[in-house]
Amino acid sequence: MKYKNVKLLLLGVLMVGISLAINSQVPTGVSFAQQQSVEYSCPMHPEVKSKTAGSCPKCGMTLKQVSKPDAAALAEAESRWGGTAFPNVELITQDGKKVHFYDDLIKGKVVALELIYTTCKYNCPLETARMVQLQKLLGDHMGKDVFFYSITIDPEHDTPEVLKEYAEKYHVGPGWTFLTGKTVDIKLISKKLGLDKLPTGNDPDGHMPSLLIGNEKTGIWMRNSALDNTKFMALKIEQMMGYGAQADIVAVKKTEPTELNIDKGAYIFATRCAACHTIGNGDKVGPDLLGVTNVRDHAWLKRIISEPDKLIEENDPIATALFKQYRGIRMPRLGLAEVDVNTLIEFMKIQTANSSNKEKAGTQN
């Protein structure tokens, strides 16, 4: 009888020891159920699966671990950002209103989102001006079907009051919110959305000139250059909203090939200048450039196009006067090669001459 009791005692100790040994192999915070759900698969032959590590019987490659977290682990991951991949951090609008990034701005909406800062000398001014063009193209959809968000990466300087003034300078309409907040929260948003980057010597912005467009309901997202063709971006946003279906394709029979003739000067002006300037149609964010080649020195025009920030720093009288006249809006560095700068100046010269010829013809008639 005593012998049997000793055997039972030894068996119990052995079972406890095995249990302790198993549990000691499970990492802290990972349940045993999670460990059992781990699976191994071959990178070359994904159909080859195993519950244990080893080699693929087909090609001999080492099997890679494929985690399958249990329901509790998935729930914990989802709850980290309020059930979404978007950080639900608190931000402040240009009107001083506190909002949560996911709950108030993203959830259930079609949005276009960018990073900016108001003292930027590089892409931000052009980004904002082109976004104004895009906003006009979307018309009544703004603030109802689609929402724009510009988040500053310089929250220490860009207070709600500064952002409000910035928006007014660019004639921003309804449906577009400018946001600031804690630096750590904005960095988190930037990282999560894939909009962050390291500054470089040529472009110390600290962010990419990107526009993130998406529909939170459908989960469809795309990242585009904020400097891209505004009509293309408007089409993509309309598609996100469920509008703008593919137009009927009408077959056109052509008897002769059509020559594609692209004026490089016109292209540069349309993509780099037209968001802020016109030639003969009045002031926009910046001055009308009709006749500018007649009243400004060629060398000065090259500098204002290539390095406008340096002219301001040097207290150039013309650049400084224009800066004050147009409410401190910074002309960005366009990053054009010298040959393209000359092409742009020549285009403005031709447009001015054509306008003068039209006026003369109208007077004669």
Reduced to 3 states (helix: H, G, I; strand: E, B; else coil), residue 178 is strand
Which pairing describes strands 220-225 and 210-215: parallel, antiparallel, or unpaired?
antiparallel
Under a CB-based contact definition with an 8 Å cutoff, are residues 290 and 355 in contact? yes
Taking only the tens of pLDDT, the chain with its 365 residues reads: 445 554 545 445 444 443 433 333 333 333 333 334 567 776 555 667 887 888 777 666 677 676 554 455 444 444 544 445 789 999 999 999 999 999 999 999 999 999 989 988 777 888 888 899 899 999 999 999 999 999 998 999 999 999 999 999 999 999 999 999 999 999 899 888 877 764 444 455 555 678 889 899 888 888 888 777 888 888 888 888 876 443 333 333 444 554 556 688 887 887 778 778 888 888 887 888 999 999 999 999 999 888 888 888 889 898 888 888 887 777 877 778 898 889 888 988 888 888 876 665 555 54
Whose structure tokens read 């540069």? 268
Q: Is 330 strand, coil or helix?
A: coil
> Can you give the pTM of this predicted structure?
0.58
Q: Around Cβ 259, how many Cβ atoms within 10 Å? A: 5
**Helical pair 124-138 and 230-241, crossing angle rounded to 10 deg:** 50
C-alpha distances (whole Å) from 344 to each of 236, 349, 357 are 29, 9, 20
At residue 108, the pLDDT reads 93
Annotated domain spans of the chain: 32-70, 90-241, 264-357
What pLDDT does residue 22 have? 32
Q: How far is residue 150's CA from residue 190's CA, in Å, rounded to a whole number?
A: 12
Give the pLDDT score at 149.
97
Lookup: tokens for 28 = 């802290």
Which option is the CATH number for 90-241: 3.10.105.10, 3.40.30.10, 3.40.50.300, 3.40.50.720? 3.40.30.10
CB 160 within 8 A of CB 95: yes
Characterize the bridge pairing of strands 64-66 and 98-100: unpaired
- Whole-number pLDDT of residue 14: 44
CATH node for 264-357? 1.10.760.10
